[in-house]
Amino acid sequence: MSSSYVTHLESAIDGTRFEPGHLYTTHKDRPLWVRYDLPAIAKSVDRDTISRRSGDIWRWRELLPVREESSIVSLGERTTPLLKSPRLGKALGLPNLWVKDDSQLPTGSFKSRGQAVAISMANELGVRRVAIPTAGNAGGAMAAYAARAGMEAYVFMPSDTPRINQFEATMAGAKVFLVDGLITDCGKIVRAGKEAMNWFDLSTLREPYRIEGKKTMGLELAEQFGWKLPSVILYPTGGGTGLIGMWKAFQELKELGWLDSADLPRMVSVQSNGCAPIVRAYENGSRFAEPFSPAATIASGIRVPAAIGDFMIIDAVHESHGTAVAVDETRIIDWMKLGMSSEGISICPESATCIGAAIKLLEQGWLTPDDRIVIYNCGAAQKYVDVTTLNLPRITSSDFKDWDFIASC
């Protein structure tokens, strides 16, 4: 491969077009879409050819922006399991339930999908130094891919970001800074340092290619469902790249003629009531969200008080006839345990909110037992050891005999 099907980039706010092949961030402080020559792609490849290729995100290369194979920076982003979840489904009263499980991706979250493509593009366009504000996992992933590409990395995270994110980014060689504040404060620092530090800003949606990586979530779902998409996707929303990316994937697949059913999923944006700017905007009938304050949730990946792609998330929710729901912050650990103990899947607290949302939407009659529902699991539970305290019983090893105690625990 030594070409791409990208025709241009396009401002999501006013449609202004930009030539491909250059470094871009935003236009009018809002994101850019990457556009492809879809008729040409449809002529050069079909869905079965893609299905026969080895199982990683790069088999979708015609629908990705990288021109040169040699630019690709990869840690092995394998196609992730789509797990039918009958026990969890039974517990919820939703028999047709699947979990799309991204917990096994490099760095333990789906941020690797976005960063693999973003760092590959940065590599292709000559970037040697990158910076990111992060709620945690994006910084860990960026640090890993930057290391793989031999780039210098700077990561700015709130001081109460899970320790594992501090650890993984540091071990991957990034310069990591703890900021007293939220991800939005970290973002201000990255933007302020742009000239003096000459780094490329890989913030969520301030860089056009992370969405393209996240698009593979939707492409995989289509393929794994036999090109007939489920009726509902529940997605824990922070900056929104995953939801926006999946919706973009479905539009492109539809235009390519690769879907066997015209019905697209209703997209549900799920947030914790501890940080729900998108849900509040949706409920107010607004396309843009006011910053949410105070923003507090143990689901650190969705602790995003303001998102520059707010209107893209809300547009996708409307276009898909979806909805946006906030769930009770205090129940997140319970839902995490319900999901994990029902199915053994390593469910992150962010995606545990989707279990709460499923319960709520079924009660409201918005979901029905006939719906074919996907809960998107964005990361591994193991990354969140410090979000809760366990009071596990302690016993001594030698001559232990108190089986009544064991049975009662």
Ligand X SMILES: *Cc1c(COP(=O)(O)O)cnc(C)c1O
* Angstrom distance (rounded) from CA 33 to CA 13: 10
* Angstrom distance (rounded) from CA 148 to CA 143: 9
* Angstrom distance (rounded) from CA 337 to CA 197: 44
* Angstrom distance (rounded) from CA 23 to CA 29: 15
Cα torsion 25, 27, 30, 31: sign: negative
Whose Cβ is closer to ligand X: residue 106's or residue 236's?
236
Question: 284: Cβ–Cβ under 8 A, 6 or more apart, which residues?
Answer: none
Q: How far is the CB of 241 from ligand X (least distance, A)?
A: 4
Whose Cβ is closer to ligand X: residue 47's or residue 215's?
215
Please give the residue whose beta carbon sits closest to ligand X in the complex: 301
Angle, CA of 311, 304 and 29, to the nearest 5°: 45
Supply the angle between the helices 241-256 and 210-224 in degrees, to the nearest 10. Answer: 60
Whose Cβ is closer to ligand X: residue 20's or residue 81's?
81
Residue 56 DSSP symbol:
B
Whose Cβ is closer to ligand X: residue 67's or residue 111's?
111
E strands in 218-372: 232-236, 266-272, 323-327
Q: How far is the CB of 313 from ligand X (least distance, A)?
A: 8
Q: How far is the CB of 136 from ligand X (least distance, A)?
A: 7
Whose Cβ is closer to ligand X: residue 5's or residue 247's?
247
Residues binding ligand X (CB under 6 A): 109, 111, 137-138, 204, 236-242, 301-302, 348, 350, 378-379
What are phi and psi for residue 2, nearest 5 degrees?
Answer: -155, 50
Q: How far is the CB of 271 from ligand X (least distance, A)?
A: 9
Whose Cβ is closer to ligand X: residue 99's or residue 348's?
348
| 232-236 sheet: strands from edge to edge | 82-84, 97-101, 373-377, 232-236, 266-272, 323-327
Whose Cβ is closer to ligand X: residue 211's or residue 232's?
211
* Angstrom distance (rounded) from CA 342 to CA 333: 14
Q: How far is the CB of 114 from ligand X (least distance, A)?
A: 8
Whose Cβ is closer to ligand X: residue 218's or residue 301's?
301
Q: How far is the CB of 380 from ligand X (least distance, A)?
A: 8
What are phi and psi for residue 390, nearest 5 degrees?
Answer: -100, 135
Residue 290 DSSP symbol:
P
Q: How far is the CB of 299 from ligand X (least distance, A)?
A: 7
Q: How far is the CB of 389 from ligand X (least distance, A)?
A: 21
Q: Residue 63 in contact with residue 252, Cβ under 8 Å? A: yes
